[in-house]
A and B are shown apart, each in its own frame.
Chain A
């Protein structure tokens, strides 16, 4: 009896030690490369920390970085642009992803080929997508999109400098972002659609519902959770907008395509102002955190309703 007990105790001891051994490599890396920089951001944000140390030692500056942010027109423009991107791109991309998924989910021949085609931009990196779209946006009258616009408006709209025009540059970036990203959400919706039992459609068909009624009364309500997930994950991705801007416009013309992450890079890396860049990072994180909390609250509500 005594022996058995000590055996179990011994086993529990080895189990504890082994578990920590299994967990420690990942924990070590997470602490060093996620938690440490994350905490440093909150400390740097209240100092005048530089990337390359200057002659004066780093000093505590209180809330100066945060106060500066709200009178910094470029920062405000960057934050405004991120919100604008969310307001415009998220509804369009989500709706388009859903419609594509519904289309792909129909029992038509060759439909798998089209699924591959719609999803393929996801396998092309954003930098390449940006370069290809820069070509399509070419400002000359011969430019692909200029010719297309000329054609569909019967020559009413002349050639535009899509990426160089203050008003057009950000919408141009939005369009290529949707082109690249929508396939990802389509696949998530497709998985959601395939979980809806066929019997529900048959039942509503017997009740005399047409295709549109089926869509609004069966499909849409049952995809509620998927929609919440797609909307919020697209929102968070929209706040991370960076590569397209880096390749195509570098925040210009006149800050028309400035974004929070691009601006953080300019401040922290190019100008070496780690303190100020960290303060922007903190604000960025608080926005993302708020969105995540909204996501959890809405999802939980959904679960209790059911």
Chain B
């Protein structure tokens, strides 16, 4: 009897130590993943560049002695932040919205309609998923050069509207919707477009959100393409503006962090608000793989 209780209590202790070790690991890793972001935000509020370079190696980095928006005022004089921000919103927003329509329509025809050529088109889309954008960036530059599209919004939007991976995500979701729902509509004499619009879309909001979020994660930070196709600030999106500011004198960490913070806060807020959706979207890329 006493033996059992001693086993029990040792088991309890083991468990308690496990929990404590768990929290130590959680906290240490939490610090590792959080401190660069915190440093960026805190130092963007520190107007004195010498203080920043003095304290960068100590805990004082995280404790602002003075809080001012001077860096933000300075960086607005150097770079047209609102323009770059609007450019990013226009480019990424339009790509996502047109992409949702175009990619879900083809996926609907592949998943729910019976037509000649369906098999070939499906195989074609699946094959295209293997081609990464980087593998076609240079020849695409030449092709869009032929069209005379350089330095514009559309050169950053139109080539990216159709996306094989998005089509595949839609397709996988659509084939899982029960056929009976549409058959009922068919008896009512509803056309294909009305079925897509009134039946499929309302049932498929999760996959629409997933595709939109994944496209947002991939497109918001893209640097290679805008670097090749824009000249000057007029159509320049945020990542390229950040890269340009980083490479330009005067090299002030305060200014850089003010810009970086302004660029990050909107996406970080969206991420925090829609966190569940983000996590689910990312998880869904792996489950079916």
Query: Which A residues fall within an 8 A CB radius of B?
Result: 12, 15-16, 18-20, 22-23, 25-30, 32-38, 40-41, 44, 49, 51, 100, 103, 106, 108, 110-111, 114-129, 131-136, 138, 140-144, 146-148, 179, 183-184, 187-192, 195, 211, 225-226, 229-230, 233, 236, 239-240, 242-243, 246-247, 261, 264-265, 267-269, 274, 277-278, 281, 284-285, 288-289, 292, 299
Contact = CB atoms under 8 A, between A and B. Distances in A.
B201 interface: no
Secondary structure type dominating chain B contacts: helix
Interface in B60-113: 61, 102-103, 105-106, 108-110, 113
Given A108-B26, A126-B239, A284-B134, 17 more contacts: A19-B118, A36-B143, A114-B29, A119-B275, A121-B33, A123-B270, A123-B271, A125-B263, A125-B264, A132-B36, A138-B56, A184-B282, A189-B286, A226-B286, A233-B286, A247-B223, A285-B132
23 contacts: A27-B162, A29-B158, A33-B159, A35-B128, A116-B272, A118-B29, A120-B268, A121-B33, A125-B221, A125-B239, A132-B260, A133-B36, A142-B55, A187-B279, A189-B286, A236-B132, A240-B132, A243-B221, A243-B224, A264-B137, A274-B142, A278-B138, A281-B136
Contact of A23 (B43, B121, B134, B145): B121
Given A136-B36, A191-B286, A265 B267 contact: no
B57 A144 contact: yes
A35 B127 CA distance: 11
B114 interface: yes
A119 B39 contact: no
Contacts of A19: 109, 113, 115, 117-118
A190 B283 contact: yes
A190 B39 CA distance: 28
B206 interface: no
Which 8 A-B pairs have CB atoms at the shortest separation, nearest pair first? A147-B57, A125-B221, A188-B286, A29-B162, A191-B283, A268-B138, A123-B271, A19-B115
Contacts of A127: 221, 223, 239, 242-243
Contacts of B224: 242-243, 246, 261, 265
Chain B interface: which size bin? 35 or more
A117 B30 contact: yes
A146 B56 CA distance: 10
Secondary structure type dominating chain A contacts: helix
Given A25-B102, A114-B26, A144-B56, A281 B138 contact: yes
B19 interface: yes
A117 B33 contact: yes
Interface of B: 18-19, 22-23, 25-26, 29-30, 32-34, 36-37, 39-40, 43, 53-58, 61, 102-103, 105-106, 108-110, 113-118, 121, 124-125, 128, 130-132, 134-143, 145, 158-162, 164, 167, 192-193, 196, 217, 220-221, 223-224, 227-228, 238-239, 242-243, 246, 253, 256-257, 260, 263-264, 267-268, 270-272, 275, 278-279, 282-287, 289
A103 B18 contact: no
Nearest to A274: B142
Contacts of A111: 26
A264 B138 CA distance: 7
Contact of A131 (B22, B57, B256): B256
A131 B242 contact: yes
